[in-house]
Amino acid sequence: MDKFNKIVLEIFKLTPDQITDSLSAKDIPSWDSMNYLLFIAELEKQFSVSFNMDEVLNADTLGEVKAMLQTRGISL
């Protein structure tokens, strides 16, 4: 399992088979503002990247968050 999915599992308390790129806050009960910020902070730490506020506020799905990493050269 890749690092991104491990972080998703830890922060949002999902099982591996639940993770899809289309998941959003409406699909994940534990995706509240606090857990989302913890998720972003952990991604920044683990992948040594930094996101701007517009990116953080406009990413609605896990796929969009992955795309933010990929634009920084992170291969997932």
Give a yes or no: residue 62 inside a domain: yes
Pair 58, 22: CB distance under 8 Å: no
- 75 falls within a domain: no
Domain span including residue 46: 3-15+24-70
Helix, strand, coil percentages for the chain (3-state, nearest 5)? 55, 5, 40
Is 48 a member of any domain?
Answer: yes
Cβ–Cβ < 8 Å for 38, 32? no
Domain annotation covers residue 76 = no
* Res 47: pLDDT: 97
Three-state DSSP class for residue 26: coil
- Condensed to tens digits (0 to 9), the pLDDT of residues 3-39 reads 999 999 999 999 999 999 999 999 999 999 999 999 9
pTM for this model (two decimals): 0.92
Q: Is residue 33 part of a domain?
A: yes
How many structural domains is the chain composed of?
Answer: 1
User: How far apart, in whole angstroms, are the C-alpha atoms of residue 50 and residue 70?
Assistant: 12
pLDDT at 1 > cutoff 70 = no
